[in-house]
Structure formats: structure tokens, C-alpha cells
Amino acid sequence: MTVRPATTTLLAAALAWGPSPPAHAADTTITQQLNHWSAQAGAPGDAARGRTFFDARHGGEWSCASCHGMPPTGSGRHASTGKTIAPLAPAANPKAITDTARVDKWFRRNCRDVLSRECTPAEKADVLAFLAALR
Amino acid sequence: MTPSLNRALLTAGLVLAPLAAAWADGGRTMPLVVPPAYAQECGACHAAYAPGLLPARSWQRILGGLDRHYGTDASLDPATVRQLGVWLEAHAGTYKRVRGEPPEDRITRSAWFERKHRKVEPAVWQLPSVKSAANCAACHAGADHGRFDDDDLRQPAGLTPRQRRAWLD
């Protein structure tokens, strides 16, 4: 008796939110992203340049590595809240760089946090080349 | 505090805990159904805080300024912001202690938060294992589920022996 109303409520609540994208659309790979941003930049991403960029502060308080760790093959830690962040390198985390919308969203937000602007296609290609080369 | 008073309070807590858990809407426990976007978007950089920890007006202001979210850009697409707003409004804190809007809409600046944590030394907040008052889960093992009972606490790594003894008092 008590199970059915609860289930109905849960179902109704879930439906009320409408079709929402799954947590991981898995519509891309690190290689596809690297190729895409290299094409946008007009030159292939460079892993060594990406490493330097990833670890640099760019005049602000944080680098990419402040939260993701260096190298980002292990878990990171959010620089202000301390929350654990899953490894960014695809070699260490199969879910990393598998969803285009998430890649775009986090590049946008995190570049603003670190550089106070969005990253250029060349910068994204370099960082992706660095991440792709990590083992 | 006398041992007998301690016991009495503990007993009262044990009796009242299930009531608090059942008191989902407007209370401080996590609602039974959480939109996937809330856990994913709001739980990426910090714990997915139970909506009952802030009043509706505070949540509205937070959602209105996600591009400048406590020093970071947490901006989201408008559809997701609207969806989360409906859910946060429905489950925002309405019980007495959460009714007031804390400074900067920070849970950690709420009068009840400061009172509950008044015995925590500044050095404990600064431990690498804690780092920030926003890191509820450093001490509250059930934080992700909105469980903050005193019997669900764990000691963060790095406490001195004196701090460990004080913890038990």
C-alpha cells in the first residue's frame, strides 16, 4: 500500500522535469576534441605548450592545476572548497572529455576563473594535446 | 554539562532524529527526489547542499548571479537555471532557524551555523583535510544526503591529540 503512492510521486516528479540530458552524453572523445580545436585554431595542439599553459597562473590567483592537480592523472581538489575532483586525464578517468556540452561549459567557466577571459581555440587545442599525451 | 544531562539530550536526539528525517520539505534533509542537474551542476565544486539550508530568497539571488558565484564562474544555460529554481523554491528552508537570509547568502554565515560551530577552533577549519567551512563532508559523513546529526560526525585528519579529546566533549 505504501509503496505505490511513493513510486507514483517519484515518477511524477521525474517526469515533471521533462527530458533532461543524461549525465554523460558520451558524444565525443579526447581525439575528436583535439582535432576539432586544432582545426579551429588552424594549427595542431602542442602538448608541451599545453603543459606550460595548464600549470601557469596567467596573472591571477589560480592555474588549471590549482584544482586539477599536476599532472592531472590523479584526483584534484577544488582550490577554495576542498571538494575532490575526478582526474581530468582520459588515461586515468574514462568519463573525462566524453561530453561536448560539458567540455564547452567547463572550458568557458574555468578559463574565466583562471584567465578572466575565455580560452582561444589554440589554447584549448594545446591543453587537449597535453591531456591526450598523459599516461 | 553533567553526564545525566548529556544522556538526556542524546536520548532526545535519538527520538527526534527520525522526525527530522521525515520533515523533508522546508527542512534541512535532502529531498527524496533530486534533479540530476542539481547533483551534476551544483555538486561539482562543492557538496550539493540541501535546499532547506537557505531560504527561497537566498536561492533566487544565487541563481541570478551564477556567473559571479563566490569568486568563480558557475554560469548555466537559462533552461537549467529555471528548472533548478523551481525545485529550490519548492524545497527551500522554511523552518524557524533558516527563515532569515544570511549575509552574502552564505550557509556558513547563518546564525544557526555559527552557533552550531562556535566550539570549532580556527586551526581546525584551516586543516588541509577541511580547508573550508563549505566542505561539510570533512566532518559530516552524511552531508551529501543532508544528514548533519551529531551522531553522524567523523574527525577530520590532522587533529592534535588535544583537539581530538575536545571533539569528544
Beta-bridge partners for A84: A77
Q: Which residue of B has its CA nearest to A112?
A: B73
Of A23, A83, A109, the CB nearest to B74: A109
B54 has a pLDDT exceeding 90: yes
The reply to whether A81 touches chain B by the CB within 8 Å rule is yes
Please say whether the beta carbons of A91 and A134 come within 8 A. yes
What value does the mean pLDDT take over residues B65-86? Answer: 96
Looking at residue B1, its pLDDT comes to 46
User: Which spans in B65-169 are helix H?
Assistant: 78-91, 111-116, 122-125, 161-168
Please say whether the beta carbons of A67 and A78 come within 8 A. yes
Highest mean pLDDT among B139-143, B144-148, B157-161: B157-161
- DSSP secondary structure of B125-137: HTSTTT-STT-GG
Let me know if domain A25-133 sits in CATH 1.10.760.10: yes
Interior angle at CA A104, CA B49 and CA A34, nearest 5: 135
φ/ψ of B2, rounded to 5, equals: -75, 150
pLDDT digits (tens, 9 = 90+) for B12-43: 444 444 444 444 456 778 898 999 999 999 99
What value does the mean pLDDT take over residues A20-44? Answer: 88
d(CA B8, CA A14): 42
pLDDT digits (tens, 9 = 90+) for B108-132: 999 999 999 999 999 999 998 898 8
Q: What Å distances lie between residue B98 and A27, A121, B102, CA to CA?
A: 42, 45, 9
Contact B134 A10 (CB under 8 A): no
Interior angle at CA A88, CA A85 and CA A92, nearest 5: 105
